[in-house]
Structure formats: C-alpha cells, structure tokens
Amino acid sequence: MDLAYLRAHPQHLPTFLTHQRIRETPVGGGGVCTASRLTLDDGASLFAKTWPSGTAPSGMFEAEAGGLAWIRAADGVPTPEVFVVLPDLLAMEWIESGEPTRRSAERFGRELAETHRAGAERFGADRPGYIGPLPLDNTPGQTWGSWFADRRLSPYLKISADRGALSDSDIAVVEEIIDNIERYGGDEPPARIHGDLWPGNLVWAVGDRVWLVDPAAHGGHRETDLATLAMFGGVPNLDLVLASYQETWPLADGWRDRVPLHQLHLWLVHTAAFGGGYRSGVRAAADELSTGRSA
C-alpha cells in the first residue's frame, strides 16, 4: 500500500494493518488514544490513532478530522492532512518534530491570529465534538458569556462534582462565577479556535513551523486559545507568541485579567475526565476570579 492507493481506498487500511502489511511503530502523542507511525511502501509516513479499548466513542474521529480541516481552511496555522477517517481509526500526515525557536514562535503568533480572524458563524459548531475523552456540547449561541457558562463551564462542573473530584467549597465558588459570568466582560464575535490548545497539542516542527493537532474546534473566544497556551508549564517562548499575535490582531483591554476564566474550562475538563488530581488548578483559577482581580 502506497499513499496514492490509500487516498483511493482509505477503507482498506484496517485490513492491511490486521495482516501486518504495513510497518507500524508505537509512538506517543495520541492523547487518550493509542498512537503509531505507519510506514507505507513508498516511504510515506502517517500518524495513526485508535481507541485503546475497543470501539471509539461515536463520532470522535469524525469530529477531529472535521476540526483539523476547518482550521486548515483558515490558511493560518497548519494542521495535518487527514487521509483516513473511520469510526475506530484516524490516519493523517506525519509531521516531523523539530526544536522550538524564536522564529517559529513569532510565526506561530501571527498565524494563530489569522486562524482566529477567519471567524465562525456563531459560538459552537454544527456538530457535537469531543475534548479529550469527553463529549463537547457545541449547541450554537450568539452571546459569548452565557454560551461559555452554559456549554463550557457548567457541564464539566457537574461531571466533576458527580465523581467527587471537587469539594463543596470548590463547587460553590465556580457556581458563583457561572452565575455572574457577564461581570467579566470580554464579549467579541466568535473566532475560529482550536478549543483545546494546551502545549501538548502543538507540534514544533522542522522548518521553524508550528502545527496544531488534537483540536476541539469550534466558534469560540480567541482568548481561550491564548489562555490555555500558558497552562501546564506553558509553550516555549510564549512571550514572543503573544507579542507577535498582538502585532497582527490586538486583543481587547483586560484580556490578561480574563486568563483564569478561560483556563477554568480546561481545568474543569481535567477534573471531570481524570479526577481530583487537577482540583488545585480549578480552585486557583476560581479563587483568582472571585477575588475581583479579574472583574
């Protein structure tokens, strides 16, 4: 099987893998999935993802493929081309990793601004999505504050509470933020965002280029992507990324004060998906907001 054959017959890839007709090497970077590098007969490499325990959640790989294509269409930050999207298998272009450089950081900031500026018709999307292993409610809305509270904070607060990942005090302070979401301001038209842009979902590639992977793409607030770039240690040269972004498309006044609000969503996703080990992140973001420093 070469790349031309695969393009014409993507449905045959599982059969070739089952019969060991393609070289398959386990790799990291699949997130909650099992990842491997596939080497075809013509030397082309693919990055493939499968669900580690049987059948993948319905529509998960289709949503990821659609998100990659939607971001790619903005002609800003590149995303890998998808060659195979099946219910239990996703295979895409292999991106060769490189080292983070100042040049790649500055270019990434400019290109991310252009991706965001491509926009979206409304907040949300025309199909349900996923963020990590969890469903993502993309029911559309027209006003950012209420939509963010209803679709990005409340669902993951409930899941986190139900699994005992947060204390009663944690729940109360987040509920207070949700109930008073409008006081934080920042309303803007919907941007075309990645939606899960923590540092692990960037590939610093050869050629001084950054690529985006594993999106939870939707029409959202551009500050969400920028805020999550700073989580879990932050991306290399974040100051250069932000400066380059600002030169391309300046952010609204007060954006730095809203960083913990945008990060709160991803912290809640982590307590919902993985438990109380991420409780401190939820509480730190919520406390910073509740002190009034972000009001």
pLDDT tens, 35-80? 999 999 899 999 999 988 778 899 999 999 999 999 999 999 999 9
pTM for the model: 0.94
The set of long-range contacts for 197-201, using a CB threshold of 8 Å and a minimum separation of 24, is 197/224, 197/225, 197/228, 197/229, 198/228, 198/229, 198/231, 198/232, 198/266, 199/229, 199/231, 199/232, 199/233, 199/234, 199/235, 200/29, 200/31, 200/232, 201/31
User: What number of other Cβ atoms are within 10 A of residue 50's Cβ?
Assistant: 20
User: What number of other Cβ atoms are within 10 A of residue 199's Cβ?
Assistant: 16
Q: Poorest-confidence range of 13-27, 198-212, 232-246, 247-261?
A: 13-27
Is residue 294 very low, low, confident or very high in pLDDT (cuts 50, 70, 90)?
very low
Is residue 31 very low, low, confident or very high in pLDDT (cuts 50, 70, 90)?
confident
For 15, 34, 82, 89, 180, the CA distances from 47, given in Å and listed in that order, are 17, 11, 9, 11, 43
Assess whether pLDDT exceeds 70 at residue 227.
yes
Burial of 146 (0-12, 13-18, 19+ CB in 10 A): middle
- Return the half-sphere exposure (C-beta side, CA atoms, 13 A cut-off) of residue 270: 19
> Which class is domain 102-290?
alpha beta
Considering only residues 5 and 68, tell me which one the structure prediction assigns the higher pLDDT.
68
Domain assignments of the chain as residue spans, ordered by start: 3-93, 102-290
Q: Please state which of the four CATH numbers 3.40.1640.10, 3.30.200.20, 3.40.50.9100, 3.40.50.300 is assigned to the domain occupying 3-93.
A: 3.30.200.20
Is residue 292 very low, low, confident or very high in pLDDT (cuts 50, 70, 90)?
low
